[in-house]
Structure 1
């Protein structure tokens, strides 16, 4: 799964990276501890091409009476996304790209302690997650929300957790967004071995209130 991540790239750099038109209400960056229900940066297709906008992380199905009317859907499993009622329409018609510096995952120590890791691209580039999105409306309330698509972990992450986000390579961004025809389903697979690397980080990130660049720094030997 993916339950926390970090975003460090400035808004203008993100807009250039994706050749997208940025919105005026983008979330503050950097954010070293992005948590569910927070607004996140997401690239989607709209009138005039690619848009970089803010979406609530936590997909809100159209049948929810309120945004919190059911389970918090932060992830969508690649294996079942096309059949699940919450996601199947979005999987066909409303896919997005969610940029990150990396994501956190937790293993368990011998005593059951949660041990956090930070997973990033091996080449230092931003990670770009596959996402799905939709707009939920009730009366004058309107929320654009998204979920991150997950798949089985690559060998680089499997020793920490059995699930990870689907990472979309730059040459496939157009396919995922639907600009270049069909083929998005073929992208929902683990990252190639060696594409990402993971290191242990401070347990400070176990708190969803923690912030600061030290959250993604490798632990010193002996910590």
Structure 2
């Protein structure tokens, strides 16, 4: 995917028009945050926007929760939340060691639900967007990380900002014809392992390496390159 600036790490635009019931049923959600915007259909999810994430339950309530987060991870030690705009993706090859992501990789893993995502293929005549989605149109589960940040310069009890990032990996198979990176997309067993507090690093890397769902894709209108364009037409095949 990409944003107005084409991010090198990939995965900078996706679509999520899943209903509350579809999210609850598919991801086995036990509790939903009181945030109506989580269920606004969005055919052009862009960096720094509010998105839905699936997180494991708390110790005294093991059920999964659907929570809001801003897309673009802000490390807890960051001086300014604006750094999140550059951290919409975390490369799976380095996330366990990179200071920006290693704490979240170890302790705060989430799922970012989607219907599909956009990727730009570079050709002789410029960049062309494609919409990529599961062949069976089932919900996508991107492997994600989340983090908490608070501006302590304001006051000690300032509200927490929750942010998230999407893991990426090297593109596989025919996906390489479009881009050299792709989101880490998980099946149901992968979701269980990714959200498990007991998963060791070896297990997590196995989850990342597991096969992605079978995907289909088609070219779409270039208007999706602007966050201002948010309509079902964004995912419609070009004539």
Give me the TM-score of the superposition, normalised by structure 1: 0.92
Q: Equivalent residues in 2 for 1:134-173 (5 A)?
A: 134-138=147-151, 139=155, 140-173=158-191
Q: Distance in 2 between matches of 1:125 and 1:165?
A: 16
**Deviation of 1:71 (Å):** 6.0
The aligned residue for residue 20 of structure 2 is 11
- Paired residues in the alignment total 218
Per-residue deviation at 1:29?
2.3
1:184 aligned to 2:204?
A: yes
2:110 matches 1:107: no
By how many angstroms is 1:179 displaced?
5.3
5+ unaligned residues in a row in structure 2: which ranges?
Answer: 1-9
Equivalent in the alignment of 1:84: 98
**1:58-89 residue CA offsets vs partner (Å, 9 max, x unmatched):** 00011212211576200000000110011111
**CA apart distance, 1:109:** 2.9
Contact 1:60 1:67 (C-alpha < 8 Å) held by counterparts = yes
For 2:47 and 2:83, locate their aligned partners in 1 and report how far apart those are by CA, in whole Å. 15
Equivalent residues of 1:156, 1:197 under 8 A apart: no
Q: Distance in 2 between matches of 1:42 and 1:69?
A: 20
> Are 1:27 and 2:47 matched, yes or no?
no
> Cα distance, 1:171 vs. partner?
2.0
Once the 2 structures are TM-superposed, how far is the Cα of residue 190 of structure 1 from its aligned partner?
A: 6.7
Runs of at least 4 residues of structure 1 off by over 3 A? 179-182
CA 1:191 to 1:118, structure 2 compared with 1: closer, same or farther past 3 Å? Answer: farther
CA distance in 2 between counterparts of 1:122 and 1:63 reads: 41
User: What is the alpha-carbon root mean square deviation over aligned residues?
Assistant: 1.7
Return the offset for 1:124: 1.3
Q: Which runs of 5+ in 1 are unaligned?
A: none
Q: Which moved more, 1:92-101 or 1:22-31?
A: 22-31
Greater fraction strand: 1
- Structure-2-length-normalised TM-score: 0.86
